[in-house]
């Protein structure tokens, strides 16, 4: 069966460094940190008291209060980012066949805030379960894709992928597969997370996975720096409109890039620690390159998973060296998590958007906050430290790896 080509015709972003795609790019290209003290709850007694929260975001500007209150924040973010992407794609909503439009979203956790609030309320009671009837539909991870379809009348395949921090990459690849096999014409995809909550921050700090640089939050997310001490949690959403190429061309759509390959693998090693040799990461990138039918030498830019954890960052770079050999030194590499923080299930989405924008602008966003490059890291890699730069980018690759040992890689190419 001949596979169809799949292109990106719309983008949406709601991130700690910008609430729209253009603001996001402004932040990315200028090296802005989205980090600051936690305002969403009293974090005084927490080991980590900072996060990458959204700024100046009021959901009621986008969704009527009565609808918004029946959505967990992670779904609200999904609605806002997908609205932007759908508008950007410029569909004639009367003309497109909505039965052939899917919504495949990614979220690592789902409605954690909703879960916490309801259980805290229960815990304060006498044991009588006075659970709000909207608790379950707000909390479940798939409420995000469900709400997007209800809002827009899209009746194609609809679900949420859950693979921790590779969730959104898995969603994008599933959407890609449905379109290239001709099952649907268009898919709204991406991912969102709202993890600045007590359970999330408390839980990740208990694992010693998060940075505790409370005296200097803005530089806490510092991938590849020798003094990195963990990831910084972030919230928000990224959205992509994937569309079958001929369908997009026929309606004269603006095309950002082509999605040419998706790869995945599992570490089969440990529930949280990455494989010490980066073997799962390597397999994922090889799988994506084979799927894209391109040579490793064709890749110009890698947006790494690069979370700023002591053990995760070097393994991924080792995998890149193993995968690309000498070409690894000719590519540009950066971790935009240094700016956005780690959006968990939404990370792959905002990083896919960053990769596509990098192709569009022919500009590599930087890895900020790296003052002293870790001597354990190959010093000849171009990690785009602290300053973005213009360069030719024909092909961009984006990695996402998640607790559970899930790895997923997507590759975009200039059209």
Which residues bind to another protein, rule: CB under 8 A?
64-66, 130, 132-134, 137
**Complex with another protein: residue 45 or 130, whichever CB lies closer:** 130
Calculate the dihedral angle through the C-alpha atoms of 290, 360, 384, 231, rounding to the nearest 10 degrees. -80
Q: Parallel, antiparallel, or unpaired: how do β-strands 301-303 and 395-402 relate? A: parallel
Q: Name, in order, each residue with C-beta under 8 angstroms of 380's C-beta and a sequence gap of 6 or more.
A: 329
**Complex with another protein: residue 129 or 252, whichever CB lies closer:** 129
Choosing from 247, 275, 305, 406, which is the catalytic residue? 305
C-beta of 18: minimal distance to another protein in Å? 30
Q: CB atoms < 10 A from the CB of 29, how many?
A: 19
Alpha-helical regions (H) of 191-263? 198-206, 245-250
C-beta of 72: minimal distance to another protein in Å? 15
**Complex with another protein: residue 60 or 297, whichever CB lies closer:** 60
C-beta of 182: minimal distance to another protein in Å? 37
Choosing from 165, 187, 323, 370, which is the catalytic residue? 165
Residues forming beta bridges with residue 261, ordered by sequence position: 411
**Complex with another protein: residue 63 or 164, whichever CB lies closer:** 63
Show the tokens assigned to 383.
Answer: 């990690």
C-beta of 119: minimal distance to another protein in Å? 16
The residue whose two tokens read 């395949």 is 157
Q: 213-233 burial by CB neighbour count: b if 16+ within 10 A, else e? A: beeebebbbbbbbeebebbbb
Q: Is 327 a catalytic residue?
A: no
Output the CA–CA distances (angstroms, integers) from residue 287 to 104, 161, 335, 409, in the order listed: 21, 19, 21, 8
Q: Name, in order, each residue with C-beta under 8 angstroms of 246's C-beta and a sequence gap of 6 or more.
A: 4, 5
Residue 189 contacts residue 105 (beta carbons within 8 Å): yes
**Complex with another protein: residue 135 or 301, whichever CB lies closer:** 135
Q: Is 305 a catalytic residue?
A: yes
C-beta of 151: minimal distance to another protein in Å? 16
User: Closest by alpha carbon to 395, among 318, 306, 324?
Assistant: 324
C-beta of 59: minimal distance to another protein in Å? 14
Residues forming beta bridges with residue 158, ordered by sequence position: 103
Choosing from 52, 247, 323, 342, which is the catalytic residue? 342
Q: Is 247 a catalytic residue?
A: no
Calculate the dihedral angle through the C-alpha atoms of 160, 307, 405, 113, rounding to the nearest 10 degrees. -40
**Complex with another protein: residue 64 or 123, whichever CB lies closer:** 64
The residues that are catalytic are: 165, 305, 342
């Amino acid at each position: 069966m001949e596979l169809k080509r799949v292109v990106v015709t719309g983008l949406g972003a709601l991130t700690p460094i910008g609430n729209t795609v253009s603001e996001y790019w402004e932040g990315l290209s200028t090296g802005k940190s989205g980090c600051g003290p936690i305002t969403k709850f009293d974090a005084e007694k927490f080991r980590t008291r900072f996060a990458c929260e959204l700024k100046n975001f009021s959901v009621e500007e986008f969704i009527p209060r009565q609808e918004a209150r029946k959505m967990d924040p992670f779904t609200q973010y999904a609605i806002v980012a997908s609205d932007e992407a759908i508008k950007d794609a410029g569909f004639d909503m009367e003309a497109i066949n909505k039965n052939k439009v899917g919504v495949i979203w990614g979220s690592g956790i789902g409605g954690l805030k909703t879960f916490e609030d309801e259980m805290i309320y229960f815990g304060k009671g006498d044991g009588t379960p006075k659970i709000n009837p909207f608790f379950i539909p707000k909390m479940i991870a798939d409420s995000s894709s469900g709400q997007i379809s209800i809002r827009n009348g899209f009746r194609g395949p609809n679900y949420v992928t859950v693979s921790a921090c590779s969730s959104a990459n898995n969603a994008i690849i599933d959407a890609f597969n449905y379109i290239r096999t001709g099952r649907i014409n268009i898919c709204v995809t991406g991912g969102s997370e709202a993890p600045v909550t007590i359970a999330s921050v408390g839980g990740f700090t208990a694992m010693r996975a998060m940075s505790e640089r409370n005296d200097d939050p803005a530089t806490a997310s510092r991938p590849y720096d020798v003094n990195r001490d963990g990831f910084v949690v972030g919230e928000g959403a990224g959205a992509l409109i994937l569309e079958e190429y001929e369908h997009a061309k026929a309606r004269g759509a603006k095309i950002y890039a082509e999605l040419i390959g998706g790869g995945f693998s599992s570490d089969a090693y440990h529930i949280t620690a990455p494989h010490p040799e980066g073997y799962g990461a390597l397999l994922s990138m090889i799988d994506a390159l084979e799927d894209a039918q391109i040579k490793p030498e064709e890749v110009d830019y890698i947006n790494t998973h690069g979370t700023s954890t002591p053990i995760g960052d070097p393994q991924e770079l080792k995998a890149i060296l193993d995968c690309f050999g000498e070409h690894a030194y000719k590519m540009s590499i950066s971790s935009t998590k240094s700016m956005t923080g780690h959006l968990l299930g939404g990370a792959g989405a905002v990083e896919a958007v960053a990769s596509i924008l990098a192709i569009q602008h022919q500009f590599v966003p930087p890895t900020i906050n790296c003052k002293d490059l870790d001597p354990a890291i190959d010093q000849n890699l171009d990690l785009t430290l602290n300053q973005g730069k213009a360069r030719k980018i024909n092909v961009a690759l984006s990695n996402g790896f998640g607790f559970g040992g899930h790895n997923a890689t997507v590759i975009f190419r200039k059209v």
